[in-house]
Amino acid sequence: MRRPDLTRGQLTGFLGGAAVVGGAAGWLLLGPLWTIAGVVAGPLVALVGCATFLAFAVADPATHLQNNEPQRALTEISRGLWSWRYLARIWPGQFRQPLADTLLTQAEALRTLHLEAQALSPAAEAVAIYQVLAAEKPRKFTPGLAGALDRQSSLLAASGRLAEAEKAIAVAVRIYRDLVPAAPGDYLPDLADALTRQAEWLLDMGQDGAALATASEAADICQDRLPRDQLPPCAAQTLLLTGRLLTGQARYREAARPLTRGWLLAARRGRQDLIAPAVPAIRATYRADDAALRAAWRTETGGEPPDWIYRLPAAPARRR
Q: Is residue 250, in this structure, part of any structural domain at all?
A: yes
Which long-range contacts link 84-90 to residues 24+ away (Cβ below 8 Å)? 84/55, 86/47, 86/48, 86/51, 87/48, 87/51, 87/52, 87/55, 90/48, 90/51
CA gap 56, 80 in Å, rounded: 8
Burial of 286 (0-12, 13-18, 19+ CB in 10 A): buried
Residue 297 sits in the same domain as residue 238:
yes
| Dihedral in degrees, nearest 10, Cα atoms 29, 34, 36, 38 | -40
Q: Is residue 206, in this structure, part of any structural domain at all?
A: yes
Residue 180 sits in the same domain as residue 205:
yes
Confidence tier at 313 by pLDDT (50, 70, 90): low
Q: Is residue 83, in this structure, part of any structural domain at all?
A: no
Residues in CB range of 124: below 8 A, 6 or more apart: 152
Instruction: Flag the least confident range among 44-58, 60-74, 157-171, 179-193.
Output: 44-58
Instruction: Flag the least confident range among 35-49, 67-81, 101-115.
Output: 35-49
Burial of 35 (0-12, 13-18, 19+ CB in 10 A): middle
Higher pLDDT, 31 or 273: 273
Cβ-contact 102, 23 below 8 angstroms:
no
Domain limit, last residue, from 184, 216, 248: 216
- The candidate with the shortest Cα–Cα distance to 199, out of 188, 215, 183, is 215
Residue 247 sits in the same domain as residue 299:
yes
Q: Is residue 124, in this structure, part of any structural domain at all?
A: no
Domain count along the chain: 2
Higher pLDDT, 90 or 241: 241
Angle 290-301/272-288 helices, nearest 10 degrees? 130
Residue 212 sits in the same domain as residue 237:
no
pTM of the shown model: 0.77
Beta strand segments in the chain, E: none
Q: Is residue 283, in this structure, part of any structural domain at all?
A: yes
Residue 206 sits in the same domain as residue 245:
no
Q: Is residue 3, in this structure, part of any structural domain at all?
A: no
Which range marks the domain in which residue 250 is found?
233-309
Half-sphere exposure of 175 (CA within 13 A, CB side): 26
Q: Is residue 129, in this structure, part of any structural domain at all?
A: no
Around Cβ 137, how many Cβ atoms within 10 Å?
10
Phi-psi bin for 250: left (phi > 0), alpha (psi -120 to 50), beta?
A: left
Instruction: Flag the least confident range among 80-89, 189-198, 249-258.
Output: 80-89
Q: How far is CA 117 from CA 130, 139, 155, in A?
A: 21, 32, 8
CA gap 154, 106 in Å, rounded: 15
CA gap 80, 31 in Å, rounded: 38
Q: Is residue 298, in this structure, part of any structural domain at all?
A: yes
Residue 242 sits in the same domain as residue 204:
no
Whether pLDDT at 36 is above 80? no
CA gap 232, 269 in Å, rounded: 13
Residue 196 sits in the same domain as residue 264:
no
Higher pLDDT, 68 or 131: 131
- The number of helices, as runs of H, and strands, as runs of E, in the chain is 15, 0
Half-sphere exposure of 212 (CA within 13 A, CB side): 14
Cβ-contact 148, 104 below 8 angstroms:
yes
Tens digit of each residue's pLDDT (9 = 90 or more) over 220-243: 999 999 988 888 999 999 999 999
CA gap 201, 167 in Å, rounded: 10
Q: What is the pLDDT of residue 65?
A: 67
